[in-house]
Structure formats: structure tokens, C-alpha cells
Structure 1
Amino acid sequence: MPDHPPERQAGASARRRMVDAMPSNLGQHTRAEQLAAVLDARIRDGGLRPGESIGTLESLRAETKFAYSTISEAVRLLRDRGIIEIRPGRGGGLFVADAGPVVRMRRTLLRVPDHPETVADAVELREHLEILIATTAARHRTTRDVADLRALLVGMEQTRTWEDFVRANWVLHERIAEICPNEMARAVYVGTLGHLRSTSSPIGDQMTDEYRQQRLQIHCELVDAIEAGHETAVRDVVTRHNVTA
């Protein structure tokens, strides 16, 4: 006779499968990002169709034993990428979203292997798109957008490690991209950030405080230019941002 009921053994097995599925080579990815990647793969590999349920926050919590904050962040990442939708109320939960062509293209970009040449391609493509994304943000920013960007700058300044600083940097750039109404450009840009997130800094803890302050200052100038709606200033800051990166 087994020591535990079959349903408990099944639950433990599911948790092991979920945790074991998390890649071991994701560099600076957070646990929430790893969980989001596993859930995305589950949807794709399982052939789940739009509208099919993938569970609830509670069921994912029971399956992984992760904190609710980790589950919520993973769900937010997938929702923002257009991969899942959240339905409230009775019978609600997490469901596969109806992926349009833009979302499908973003998924394709994120599935490209992270070889060194791929990362170099992502950097080149991101730099070409940066001015379009930033100038469009300057044209369409709202008071709420600017407030969010300011809050993210504060978060960057308060980070304790270089890894956390870089991660906060990507979040800021993703938020700037959200302002851009050009879905195609936004999808490609965010897709390139997905590859850059998977790389680690070649300098890491050796990064000087002076360089970190320079990077923070240039991002502050970028947000200032976006808030002012000054497209010429945005272009100048983006050029310096990419040259000194």
C-alpha cells in the first residue's frame, strides 16, 4: 500500500514536472520569468487552443509551491505578451488568449535560440527600433505613462546589484514600448529584449559606480525628453544611449 493517497502522489509528480521543466541556463531570469517560459511552452507543446483553461492562480500555487507574488508576476508577463487572458468571477481563471498575427510573431522571435550571434542580431535590431519606439512614445505619452516611467527610474536607482539594475533597465524599456501604438514595431522590439534578458553582463560585479550613474542619468534624460514631447531631444538621447551602452 502506498504511503500517500494517489491524488497526493499525482500532485507531487505534477509539481516535480513543473519545477524540473524550468531551464537551468536562463542566466539572470527571475523565477517568475522562468515560470512564464514553462507555462508558455506548456501551452505551445500541449497544442492548447484559444479559450482553453490553463488553471487558476490557486492551482498554479498548489502545483509549484511558489509564492503568490511569483505566480502573479509570471501571469502578468504572459498576459502582457498576449499569451493568456484572465477571466474574473465564477468559472474564471487563466485561459489561452486568442493570438493574433502580432502575438504569433513575438512568440517566434522569443523562440529563436540564444546563440551569441542571435544576441548580436537582437542588439542591432533593437538599436534600429529604439528611435522609432522612443519618439513615438514622446508623441503619445500620457500623464500616467510618465508617472510610471518616473517610478521605474526610482526603482533603477534603488537597486543594490548590477544584475538588478540591468533587469530594471529592461522593465523601463518595455514600459516605454507599451506607449508606442505601432503593434508590429512594439512586438519586434519586445522580442529583442527577450533575447537580451537572457544574457549576463560581461563585467557584472566589476561594474563601476560611475558607469552605473552614467547609465541611470541617460535614462533620466530619455524620460525627460519623452515627457516634454521633444522628439529631437529623444533622438539625441537614444543615440548617446546606444553609443555608450
Structure 2
Amino acid sequence: MHSRPPGLAQYLASEIEELIGTRCLRSGDRIATMEELRTQTGYGRATIGEAARLLTERGSVDVRPGRGGGLFVAQVSPVVRLRQTLLTVPHGAPTVADAIAVRDALEELVIVEAAAHRTDGDIRDLEAHLDAMRRAGDDLEAFLRANWELHERIAAVSPNPLARAMYLGMMRCIAELSVRADSQDTSTASVYLTQRLAVHEDIVEAIRLGDADRARAAAAAHRSSTASGVAPP
């Protein structure tokens, strides 16, 4: 098991997707019942149910009710197969450096597409995630969780499923290492997180305005802010 990404349900969903890939499970193969997952993980029914919902939305699993039911591998689309393949890549510093490079290459595409296709509802959601980052204050774990959820919501606006799958796969890898690395030194957390918040406020403002040039500039600022090392998403 790897270091936990933000949110227990997100973590469990990622672990199940990784399990599907590493065990080479095929469409229709049984993963586990809900009760088996509770026993194996120690998580409550609400967390198990939320993880199952996330996996169903991603197209990774089918949930079958009743006796003999549980979580089964869904008929896998090329996008889901790509996500599962990304999850089997070994973790470590070189892998994360590679993930940052790939994420950076996709960043502008994802943000510019979000600016082009956003709705009023999308903007409300993005603002809510920014508010969560503000409320986190100096709480690094809460900030990282809200930050991850903001990027995930931005990616959801893009109509390009391949870009979404690759971008979120890279973000997950980076977020996991960020939790480990940044938790080692919180002496400058307040200034650092204030700077990170400002970068993300610019991204959301560019998306809200639907301004492609401003979106490109915001993406470039986000890339440059992490160029010197591993940082939160």
C-alpha cells in the first residue's frame, strides 16, 4: 500500500484500481463483497460505499447487489485501462519527477479546455474548493486534500477523456509524494500555502472569465511554481 492520497474513499478507490491492474483482473472478475472490503480495510460502510460510487463513476467496477454480489471488474474502456496501467507504475522519486513532467505537459490543455467549456455550476464548484483551501489555513493535510479536489474538478470540465485520465493519474502520483515530503517541514507552511493558494486563485479566475490567454498564463505560473521540486498539486 502506498502513502494515502487525500480522502479515505479516494484512497480506497485508488487501491482497488491498482489491485485490478496488478492482479490482471479481467472484465467480470469478482473483486470483493462490501463486507469483505470492510473486514480487509477496517473502514466503515459509508467509506466503502463512497469508494464504490467513485469506482462506478470512473467505469472501473460494477456493483452487483444481493447474494453473490459485490464489486466486479467492469467492461473496461480504453480510458479506464489507461488509468489502471498508470497505477501500476512503481512509485519513487524518479517516477514522481516523470509524473511532474507529464502533468506539466497536460496542464495547459486541461486548464484551457476548462476555460472554454465551463458552466456556471462548474465555477460554483471550483470556488467552493478554493474556499476549502482558504479554510484549511496552516493545516497542510486539509490544504492538500482541497487542492487535489480542485484539480480533479477542473479536469472534470474537460471534454477530453484521455487527457483527464492521464492528468489525474499524474496528479495522484504527485499528491502522494507531496503528503510525505511536505509533512517533514511545516516551519514555513503559512507563507508557502498562501503562495500556493494565490496560484490556484489565478487558475480559477482565468477559467471563470473563459480567457484562453489568461488560462495559459495561469498554467505556466503553476508549472513554474513547482519547477524547483516536488510541491502540492
TM-score range, shorter chain: 0.7 to 0.9
Name the CA distance, whole Å, in 2 between partners of 1:42 and 1:201. Answer: 25
User: Structure 2 stretches of 5 or more lacking a match?
Assistant: 227-233
Aligned mate of 2:27, from 46, 50, 53: 50
Q: Deviations over 1:190-219 (max 9, x none)?
A: 111121122023464223312211211221
Q: Deviations over 1:80-134 (max 9, x none)?
A: 4431134679997543221111211121112111121111111111111101000
Q: What TM-score, normalized by structure 1, do the two folds share?
A: 0.78
Amino acid at match of 1:118: T
How far off its partner does 1:37 sit? 4.0
Name the CA distance, whole Å, in 1 between partners of 2:4 and 2:37. Answer: 23
Q: Which moved more, 1:208-217 or 1:194-203?
A: 194-203
Counterpart contact for 1:163–1:201, Cα < 8 Å: no
Equivalence for 2:110:
133
How far off its partner does 1:151 sit? 1.2
Question: In structure 2, do the counterparts of structure 1 residues 32 and 207 end up closer, same or farther at CA, with 3 Å as the change threshold?
Answer: farther
Name the CA distance, whole Å, in 2 between partners of 1:43 and 1:120. Answer: 25
Equivalence for 1:201:
181
Q: Does residue 76 of structure 2 align to residue 99 of structure 1? A: yes
Aligned mate of 1:152, from 129, 134, 148: 129
Equivalence for 2:150:
172
Q: What TM-score, normalized by structure 2, do the two folds share?
A: 0.81
Give the count of matched residue pairs.
222
Q: Does residue 170 of structure 2 align to residue 192 of structure 1? A: yes
Counterpart contact for 1:218–1:237, Cα < 8 Å: yes
Aligned mate of 1:36, from 13, 17, 21: 13
Equivalence for 1:231:
212
Aligned-residue CA RMSD in angstroms?
A: 2.7
Question: In structure 2, do the counterparts of structure 1 residues 176 and 90 end up closer, same or farther at CA, with 3 Å as the change threshold?
Answer: farther
How far off its partner does 1:30 sit? 4.8
Name the CA distance, whole Å, in 2 between partners of 1:63 and 1:185. Answer: 33
User: Structure 1 stretches of 5 or more lacking a match?
Assistant: 1-22
Name the CA distance, whole Å, in 1 between partners of 2:19 and 2:195. Answer: 41
Amino acid at match of 2:206: A
Question: In structure 2, do the counterparts of structure 1 residues 178 and 86 end up closer, same or farther at CA, with 3 Å as the change threshold?
Answer: farther
Equivalence for 1:18:
none
Q: Deviations over 1:140-194 (max 9, x none)?
A: 1112211111111111112251132123212211111111111111111111112
Aligned mate of 2:196, from 206, 215, 228: 215
Name the CA distance, whole Å, in 1 between partners of 2:110 and 2:44. Answer: 34
How far off its partner does 1:232 sit? 0.8
Equivalence for 1:84:
61
Q: Does residue 88 of structure 2 align to residue 108 of structure 1? A: no
Q: Which moved more, 1:232-241 or 1:53-62?
A: 53-62
SS at match of 2:56: helix
How far off its partner does 1:54 sit? 3.9
Name the CA distance, whole Å, in 1 between partners of 2:5 and 2:167. Answer: 19
Q: Which moved more, 1:229-238 or 1:199-208?
A: 199-208
How far off its partner does 1:74 sit? 2.4
Counterpart contact for 1:83–1:96, Cα < 8 Å: yes
Equivalence for 2:229:
none
How far off its partner does 1:31 sit? 4.0
Bigger Rg, which one = 1
Name the CA distance, whole Å, in 1 between partners of 2:107 and 2:175. Answer: 16
Question: In structure 2, do the counterparts of structure 1 residues 124 and 41 end up closer, same or farther at CA, with 3 Å as the change threshold?
Answer: closer
Amino acid at match of 1:234: A
